[in-house]
Chain A
Amino acid sequence: MAGDKGQRRMTQCKMMTEKLNVYYGKRHALKDVDIRIRSHAVTALIGPSGCGKSTFLKTLNRMNDLVGNVRIEGQVYLDGEDIYSTRMDVTRLRKRVGMVFQQPNPFPMTIYDNIAYGPRIHGIKGKEQLDGIVERSLRQAAIWEEVREGLYKSALGLSGGQKQRLCIARALAVEPEVLLMDEPTSALDPVSTLKVEELMTAFKQKYTIVIVTHNMQQAARISDDTVFFLEGELVESDTTARLFSHPADRRTRAYINGRFG
């Protein structure tokens, strides 16, 4: 494993895994994965389909708990706290570590209620407070101007790109610390993709972002760190600039040069 690049990465580590192993039934989906995710940075997870990058992403907010027949070994830390310990409250964990999915999945309700969904779970009921959260979140996701006239219309009437930005706004509404994004632009058109990418780079100020992507250019464009997975193993993890210019592992080199995957 190349590039344990010194103190800077250690000190600002937001999430960390140690000897993380995930099994789906008999299938060994993740093998001894050790990762440090820097705070206020964009970390891209790349690798061919089925390499375990989405599985890894889902262990970070325990979405794998929902899958039957899954076994998880090892530790995942959020600010030094083991999120798989019995003391961890999953609701609170998912408030701190939000998620945006590959397919935009707004709920079948109004735009307003979509955004207010998270805050309501966490006990925010006041109309004025919710109004404020809805506007702030929609502005952050750069969709406020497009929907401000129709906050009480069904979210299902939006375009694909708008839906995804709505889902991002929904995730931001609970003010998470970490935002997990599972191929958030793979279902979007090029213009919408650029909008979402622009958002991600802006979000670094406030959030730590982990994104799974199939798109090598996207990883190179928007991420600070890149992690390369292959067949459940972490092959290489480094700053994006270094990983793309001087990959240490020949498998990484082969992949980013487009020779497989």
Chain B
Amino acid sequence: MMRKWKDDVLLCLIYLAAFFTEFLLIGILGYVFVKGFPQVSLSFLTNVTSVLQGTAGIAGNFVNTLYMVVMTLAVAVPFGIGAAIYLNEYARPGRVVRLIEFTTETLAGIPSILFGLFGMVFFGTTLGLGYSILTGALTLALMVLPLITKNTQEALKAVPEAYRSGAFGMGAGKWYMIRTILLPAAMPGIVTGILLSVGRILGESAALLFTAGSGYFLPRSFGGWFRKLSESGGTLTVQLYLSMSKAQYSVAFGIAAVLLCMVLGINFLVRMLAKKWDAV
């Protein structure tokens, strides 16, 4: 009798915890959307903030965000996948591999503002890239590198040894085997790592504030789209931070709503891909 009573209380507490977690998420989403969506309009999405024209918009920040995502991944994906392949397929298990793995894990736990500090001093000043999207992207690349490496490595580890010996038994060379068997089989894990990285890039502000800066203009000419890399550019999240610090709460909530939509979209994408790959 006593036991049954205890079970019921525990069950209640667990339900409560689950409900609380769910409620928290729905509460935050609901609050941001309710406060933010009235602000989101076509002109908000397609205009640049200008005092002269009296417009408030986030088109520039949106473009900056796309640049940031693409540039960061362009650097981090090849390095991350390459490092994972080296660690899992080439390096002999031992002290060096353990050291690199330890370093990767530590790197993943460093507060992002430290990456910002390093990026500003090293890429910005020492390499002379200044406040620019490039500086920001290189900084973020360092930050998401562990995420991509780790996920790729886990995915490679999960590929059965029998595939490798099967391919070698047919006379495949190592790189040929990696290209034709390992990478395709590990693709779901690799893509998951990349999408998680996109999430981190979208959400980052501290590491970008002092590296990519806060520019919010759109390029005026065709060449401007290329020059943009070396110009200051704030992502949506940076702009959100700046708007808040200027007490422009309606703009801030508008941006927050847009950001949340993007993050939700990515999470959906991850789930869809995971489901699709599981079915194969």
Interface, chain A (partner B; CB < 8 A): 61, 63, 66, 68, 90-95, 98-99, 101, 103, 105-109, 117-118, 121-122, 154, 156, 167, 170-171, 174
Contacts and interface: CB of A to CB of B under 8 A. Distances in A.
B162 A94 contact: no
B166 A105 contact: yes
> Which 7 A-B residue pairs are closest in the complex by CB-CB distance?
A105-B162, A94-B171, A99-B169, A91-B171, A118-B170, A105-B166, A95-B171
Given A108-B280, A117-B180, A68 B170 contact: no
Interface string B166-205: 1111111100100011001100000000000000000000
B165 A117 contact: no
A177 to B, nearest CB: 13
A118 B280 contact: no
B168 A94 contact: yes
Contacts of B169: 61, 63, 94, 98-99, 101, 171
A98 B170 contact: yes
Nearest to A119: B170
Contact of B168 (A66, A106, A109, A167): A66
Nearest to A95: B171
B160 interface: yes
Contacts of B31: none
B280 A107 contact: no
Contact of A108 (B170, B172, B185): B185
B166 A101 contact: yes
Contacts of B220: none
Given A90-B171, A121-B172, A122-B171, A107 B181 contact: yes
Nearest to A103: B162
Nearest to A156: B280
Given A105-B160, A154-B280, 11 more contacts: A91-B171, A95-B171, A98-B170, A101-B169, A105-B163, A108-B163, A108-B185, A117-B167, A118-B171, A122-B171, A167-B166
Contacts of A98: 169-170
Contacts of A171: 169-170
Contacts of A156: 280
Given A66-B165, A105-B165, A107-B163, A170 B170 contact: yes
B92 interface: yes
Interface string B107-133: 000000000000000000000000000
Contacts of B171: 90-95, 118, 121-122, 174
20 contacts: A61-B169, A66-B164, A68-B92, A91-B173, A94-B169, A95-B171, A98-B169, A105-B160, A105-B163, A107-B166, A108-B181, A108-B184, A108-B280, A109-B184, A117-B170, A117-B180, A121-B172, A167-B166, A171-B169, A174-B171
Contacts, number: 64
Interface string B36-76: 00000000000000000000000000000000000000000
A121 B92 contact: no
A95 B169 CA distance: 8
Contacts of A99: 169
Nearest to A94: B171
B170 A174 contact: yes
B165 A101 contact: yes
Contacts of A90: 171
Contacts of A94: 168-171
Contacts of B163: 105, 107-108
A103 B214 CA distance: 58
Contacts of B185: 108
B14 to A, nearest CB: 38
B274 to A, nearest CB: 16
A63 B171 CA distance: 10
A170 B168 CA distance: 13
Nearest to B280: A154
B160, B167, B169: most-surrounded residue (chain A CB, <10 A): B169
Contacts of B165: 63, 66, 101, 105
B187 to A, nearest CB: 10
B186 to A, nearest CB: 10
Contacts of A101: 162, 165-166, 169
A219 to B, nearest CB: 23
A98 B165 CA distance: 12
Contacts of B181: 107-108
B92 to A, nearest CB: 7
Contacts of B172: 91, 117, 121
Contacts of B280: 108, 154, 156
B160 A121 contact: no
Nearest to B93: A68
A193 B170 CA distance: 23
